[in-house]
């Protein structure tokens, strides 16, 4: 795709977000549901396969270009952003470990919109890494899966769970496996937990597995590759995507604050004539741009396959979340008491922003990753110094 084609695509995304996207936002907030019709519309526009390879049916956008579009999508409703973010990324996690048959069965259909796959890692009693306890026992050509997962986005409506488990009796990352578990397989109990503060309409689930049978043929990679599938193939680019989502949502909050400040008059002056408001909006603009450039830098490092891509992704996510918190708080303050009412778009933006603080790991997790990489890459002082 040349520059002119990309510019045209970007304009098409902007028009959709400001037009149909806003109508969908109103519908989702009114009904509490992101219906199947929305998924179909996004897929028909090609918005769910932008980052995938052309040979898989995608548009073949480079990661940095895709992030520029992710920023625009993130100015829309949180559920729209979530759908676009997840579907454009989950293929990447699978593709690096899939064989040819699995690409035909899972990877390509997830790109073309024929199946939905839910990223299934987090557990209620542990973290989201080598401490997972959901386990499998292998009997011939079948794994039997037992355990629990929670906070699983699209866990109600999906067709498959891309799930991390471990071989029973193992510990650490070497015992982990990545499985594609059919949503309606025997022994699965799905509890709908979609009643959230923000990002209304995105379904979430708590899952219980009781000796659920999963064909060994549905395992990605080898036994022991489970965390590599989840953390290596998905987490680094996904953190960059969430960071760019923060930039997009903050930009929308800033737009709403400026619009309101222009029209709100107090004591004969618009808010834009009040120096306190001017300073708040100026600070917001600088903070948003700084975060945007850091995220784009992280995107370029990932696209280049740089060794510091993981650290850069955590730095970008950590900084962008802090920025979003500050920007949305000031934007709401500009609206005064009126911003607290659901009749104002800023109220929804403020609620949606809170979810970014734990999506793909809290800031405390990001700081741990950054510090670990700093220790690894910073030379120790010479003896005697």
| Domain boundary pick from 224, 258, 290 | 224
- Dist. CA 212–CA 147, nearest whole Å: 10
Give the CATH number, domain containing residue 317.
1.20.140.10
My answer on whether 107 and 130 are in the same domain is: no
Q: Is residue 383 part of a domain?
A: no
pLDDT at residue 337 in the model: 94
One of 29, 223, 347, 360 is an active-site residue; which one?
360
CATH number at residue 131: 2.40.110.10
Same domain, 183 and 209: yes
Q: What is the CA radius of gyration of the chain?
A: 22
Could you say which of 57, 79, 112 is where a domain stops?
112
Q: Residue 178: give the domain boundaries.
A: 117-224
Domain count, the chain: 3
Residue 18 lies in a domain: yes
Q: Is residue 218 part of a domain?
A: yes
349 and 364 share a domain?
A: yes
Q: What pLDDT, on the 0 to 100 scale, is given for residue 1?
A: 81
Asked if the structure places residue 366 within a domain, the reply is: yes
| Measured distance CA(333)–CA(297) in Å, rounded | 31
* pLDDT for residue 384: 65
pLDDT at 380: 80
Does residue 384 lie in a domain region? Answer: no
* pTM reported for the whole predicted model: 0.93
Residues 210 and 273 reside in one and the same domain? no
**Do 196 and 334 fall into the same domain?**
no
Q: Where among 224, 250, 276 does a domain terminate?
A: 224
- Same domain as 237, residue 143: no
Residues 182 and 214 both lie in one domain: yes
Q: Could you tell me if 181 and 203 are in contact, meaning their C-beta atoms sit under 8 angstroms apart?
A: no
DSSP string, 160-222: EEEEEEEETT--SGGGEEEEEEETT-TTEEEEE----SSSTT--EEEEEEEEEEEEGGGEESS
Give the whole-angstrom CA distance, residue 12 versus residue 152: 31
CATH code assigned at 32: 1.10.540.10
In-domain check, residue 303 = yes
Residues 6+ apart with CB under 8 A from 144: 136, 137, 138, 211, 212, 213, 214
Residues facing 136 on adjacent strands: 145, 167
Task: Compute φ and ψ for 160, nearest 5 degrees.
Answer: -140, 150
**Structure confidence at residue 275 (pLDDT):** 97
pLDDT of residue 234: 81
Q: How far apart are CA 241 and CA 68, in angstroms?
A: 10
368 shares a domain with 241: yes
Residues 96 and 123 both lie in one domain: no
Blockwise average pLDDT, block size 10, the chain, 385 residues: 94 98 96 96 97 95 97 97 95 94 97 96 84 95 97 96 96 92 98 93 96 98 92 85 97 98 95 97 98 98 94 96 98 96 94 91 90 89 69
Q: Give me the residue label for tokens 């979810």.
A: 355
The answer to whether 195 touches 206, Cβ cutoff 8 Å, is no
Q: Is residue 382 part of a domain?
A: no
* Co-location of 213 and 296 in the same domain: no
Active site residue 360: yes
Does 385 reside within a domain?
no
Q: Are residues 236 and 364 in the same domain?
A: yes
Q: Are 258 and 288 part of one and the same domain?
A: yes
């Amino acid at each position: 795709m040349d520059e002119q084609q990309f510019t045209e695509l970007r304009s098409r995304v902007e028009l959709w977000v400001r037009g149909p996207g806003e109508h969908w936002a109103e519908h989702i907030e009114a009904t509490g549901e992101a219906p199947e019709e929305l998924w179909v519309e996004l897929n028909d526009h090609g918005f769910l396969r932008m980052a995938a390879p052309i040979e898989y049916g995608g548009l073949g956008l480079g990661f940095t270009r895709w992030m520029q579009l992710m920023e625009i999508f993130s100015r829309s409703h949180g559920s729209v952003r979530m759908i676009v973010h997840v579907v454009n990324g989950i293929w990447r996690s699978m593709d690096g470990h899939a064989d040819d048959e699995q690409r035909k069965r899972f990877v390509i259909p997830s790109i073309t919109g024929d199946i939905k796959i839910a990223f299934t890692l987090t557990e209620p009693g542990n973290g989201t890494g080598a401490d997972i306890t959901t386990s499998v026992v292998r009997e011939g050509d079948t794994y039997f899966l037992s355990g629990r997962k929670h906070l699983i986005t699209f866990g109600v409506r999906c067709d498959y769970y891309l799930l991390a488990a471990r071989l029973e009796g193992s510990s650490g990352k070497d015992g982990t496996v990545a499985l594609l578990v059919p949503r309606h397989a025997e022994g699965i109990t799905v509890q709908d937990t979609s009643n959230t503060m923000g990002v209304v309409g995105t379904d979430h689930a708590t899952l219980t597995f009781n000796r659920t049978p999963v064909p060994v043929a549905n395992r990605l990679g080898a036994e022991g590759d489970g965390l590599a599938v989840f953390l290596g193939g998905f987490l680094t680019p996904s953190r960059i995507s969430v960071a760019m989502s923060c930039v997009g949502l903050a930009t929308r909050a800033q737009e709403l604050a400026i619009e309101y400040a222009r029209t709100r008059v107090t004591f004969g002056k618009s808010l834009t004539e009040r120096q306190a408001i001017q300073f708040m909006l100026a600070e917001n603009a600088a903070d948003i741009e700084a975060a945007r450039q850091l995220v784009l830098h992280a995107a370029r490092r990932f696209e280049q396959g740089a060794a510091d891509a993981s650290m850069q992704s955590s730095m970008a996510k950590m900084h962008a979340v802090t920025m979003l918190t500050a920007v949305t708080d000031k934007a709401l303050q500009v609206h005064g008491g009126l911003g607290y009412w659901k009749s104002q778009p800023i109220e929804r933006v403020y609620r949606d922003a809170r979810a970014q603080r734990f999506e793909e790991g809290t800031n405390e997790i990001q700081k741990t990753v950054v510090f670990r990489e700093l220790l690894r890459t910073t030379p120790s002082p010479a003896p005697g110094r």
